[in-house]
Amino acid sequence: MNSTFALEQLMRWYGPNDAVPLAHIAQAGCTGVVSALHAIPVGEIWTKEAIQTYKDNITAANLTWTVVESLPVHEDIKKGDGQRDLYIERYKECLHNLSACGIKVVTYNFMPILDWVRTDTAYRLPNGAEALMFNKADYAVFDLFLLKRPNAEADYTPEELAKYTAHFENMAAAEKQRIFKNVLLGLPGSEIPFTPAEILDLLNQYQHINREKLKSNLFYFLREVAPVAESVGIQLAIHPDDPPYSVLGLPRIMSTHQDILDMITAVPNKANGLCFCTGSYGARPDNDIVAMLKYWKSRVYFLHLRNTKRDDEGNFMEDNHLDGDTNMFAVMQEVVKLMQEEQRSIPMRPDHGHKMLDDLGKTTFSGYSAIGRLKGLAELRGLEHGIRAFLQLN
């Protein structure tokens, strides 16, 4: 078996203010980083000069940068109103500029308002390490009693309302404040949290948008930008919803195999592909991760490898990379076979590591401390190496 095609082992880097410097990423054994121009407001143009300057800093650390995560999609595009067409034209210009600077993959998502939701960013594990956690009862407390989203009660059964009301009434003030802060965290890289007023105003703007309308807006966007991406040699990789079900009453449209099928059917352009995140898809028990990977293998342009552990209450936590509900061995086996079949390497990063050891005393982006991701990278690297060696011998 040809051994040339292997995973491109990358690490996410949030720029000069990241607590994890480029030198440490290189020491971890990565060949490059996944990054973005976080300082540029959503909807503004990434100029060639800004992109190249950013890339030069990465290259100076003997690392590469060919995967952008993320080039954000403006809310007007998601809503299909306002200055949608203007922002789409700017997005196209960004793609041209990124390609000119050697970028090959552009990751994005189409989640309204909040890119991700967790209720606990420092869930203490039995061994003392900390993980990201989504607790459904805590989320309901935020939704019903802290944010006080209009008509939120309609999304819960009478039994759930009674249960979550009791949970709220028994909760200490400090715990309420912690949940409030965690759910309203801004995008990693921005350090700017949303305010309740901003969230409620944005939610009001989405009142008339259901799943079908949001999907239609995604397809409109892709029909415009995918041909441009293909013409300049860029692969678009959409990240799944996180978590992969409705939060705050907002529609989710990239959570299942059927969602992917709808998107690819609507916009079959080859540049239209996936950031296949095993953690996000894995948070739903009805998603067969290995089967999805087998089916969509040719459209997988970027891999997020992480693992979640679910329970029957709808809660999930970020588990060790080789533990959790997703069979990471089976995933890696399919990935290795895919790369050999299609004669291509796939960029990958270990996602959402535990906070542990010396990192426990440091301020880092949630899920992006150095040592936990290094542990995950080492486990995934060893898993890939073992599978490749086994397949070569048999």
B/e letters for 149-186, b = 16+ CB within 10 Å, e = fewer, are beebeebbeeeeeeebeebbeebeeeebebbbebbbbe
Catalytic one of 38, 74, 321, 352: 352
Closest CA relative to residue 10, chosen from 82, 54, 68: 68
Asked about 351 being catalytic, the answer comes back as yes
Asked about 352 being catalytic, the answer comes back as yes
Catalytic one of 275, 277, 301, 354: 277
**Token pair 């329970």: residue:** 311
CB 351 within 8 A of CB 312: no
How far is it, in rounded angstroms, from Cα 24 to Cα 44? 31
Closest CA relative to residue 105, chosen from 69, 140, 156: 69
Query: Residue 325 pairs with which residues in a beta bridge?
Result: none
B/e letters for 63-88, b = 16+ CB within 10 Å, e = fewer, are bbbbbbbbbbbbbbbbbeeeebeebb
As to burial, measured by CB atoms within 10 angstroms (0-12 exposed, 13-18 middle, 19+ buried), residue 27 is exposed
CB 239 within 8 A of CB 106: no
Catalytic one of 164, 351, 354, 359: 351
106 membership: H or E segment, kind and range: strand 105-108
Catalytic one of 18, 206, 241, 304: 304
Catalytic one of 239, 262, 281, 325: 239
How many C-beta atoms surround the C-beta of residue 15 within 10 A? 16
Distances (CA, A) of 127 to 12, 123, 364: 25, 11, 20
Query: Residue 349 pairs with which residues in a beta bridge?
Result: 304
Asked about 368 being catalytic, the answer comes back as yes
Catalytic one of 91, 139, 206, 368: 368
Asked about 277 being catalytic, the answer comes back as yes
Identity of residue 171: M
How many C-beta atoms surround the C-beta of residue 125 within 10 A? 16
Catalytic residue annotation: 239, 277, 304, 351-352, 368
